[in-house]
Structure 1
Amino acid sequence: MTSWLYGAALVVAGLAAVLLVVDLIRDRAAQDSHYIALAVVELLMLVQLVVGVVALSRTSRDIEGAVFVSYLVTNAIIPVVAAFFSLAERSRVGTTILLLAVVTVAGLELRLWDVWGGPHA
């Protein structure tokens, strides 16, 4: 796993979280801009899934491969599931669902970094 991809994922998830918090404070339902931000997060998670699996296959580190891949797959699924739930709930709750999704993605990113072994990428 590369440190630039890890950093980009955290930055994008953080920016999406800020956008969502601002709109929650303004009492707004989920907007197109929220779904665009979530799509960017999803695209980044798919790239990370591919890069992570390739890096895992090429590394000689002692890594729990099943745990690592399960975190990668879960990170790729969370934005999609959150978007569906948010579309089903077209109120402020939908925005909250999206916020929980990006915070969960950021949390799983931190855990992925620990599983990978930190800055030795």
Structure 2
Amino acid sequence: MIELQQALAILCAVTAVAVLVQVIRNRPPNVLVLGLLAVIEVGLLVQLVIGLRLVGDAPPGVSVGTFLGYLLASLVILPLAVGWSWAERSRGGTATILVGLVVVPYLFVRLYQIWVLQQ
């Protein structure tokens, strides 16, 4: 799962640069950004499936509920940010996508901490 998270974090960074350009230009997200967000979301769905499989063999000391919460949070952050962006068609609305793209890799770090460091 770590390799998938690393690939998704890199994709989040690339997408964040594209979104930053849109924020600077004061434009709503374009088709490229929305396509990249869709690819990230598919990767997050794959991560959820892998995570659900891992939960069955969770080592002692791992908070399964917290782990599942972070898995689900990582899945819903970007759709919420895009929805906010569509509701508010301004620079600030587009910037919410940028915030979501920063939050998702942070959630990966927390997932790692919950799974590995709490054992």
How many aligned residue pairs are there? 118
AA in 1 matched with 2:116: G
Runs of 4+ in 1 over 4 A off after TM superposition: none
1:58 partner SS = coil
Shift of 1:61: 4.5
**TM-aligned CA deviation for residue 67 of structure 1:** 0.4
Identity in percent:
32
Superposed displacement of residue 5, structure 1 = 1.2
Structure 2: give runs of 5+ residues left out of the alignment.
none
Q: State the distance in 2 between where 1:15 and 1:55 align.
A: 28
* Greater RCO structure (CA 8 Å; 6+ sep): 1
TM-score by length of 2: 0.88
- CA deviation profile, 1:17-75 (whole Å, cap 9, x unmatched): 11111222233222122211211121111111110110121233531100000000011
Q: Is the 8 A contact 2:28 2:85 kept in 1?
A: no
Partner Cα distance (1:26, 1:15) in 2: 17
Which piece of structure 1 moves more, 77-86 or 57-66?
57-66
Q: Which residue of 1 aligns with 2:81?
A: 82
Q: Distance in 1 between matches of 2:60 and 2:32?
A: 40
Deviation string for 1:85-113 (max 9, x for gaps)? 11111222221011011111111111111
1:24 aligns with: 23
Do structure 1's residue 35 and structure 2's residue 41 form an aligned pair? no
Q: 1:53 aligns to what? A: 52
- CA distance in structure 1 between the partners assigned to 2:77 and 2:63 by the alignment: 21
Question: Gapped runs of 5+ residues in structure 1?
Answer: none
- Cα distance in 1 for residues equivalent to 2:107 and 2:59: 23
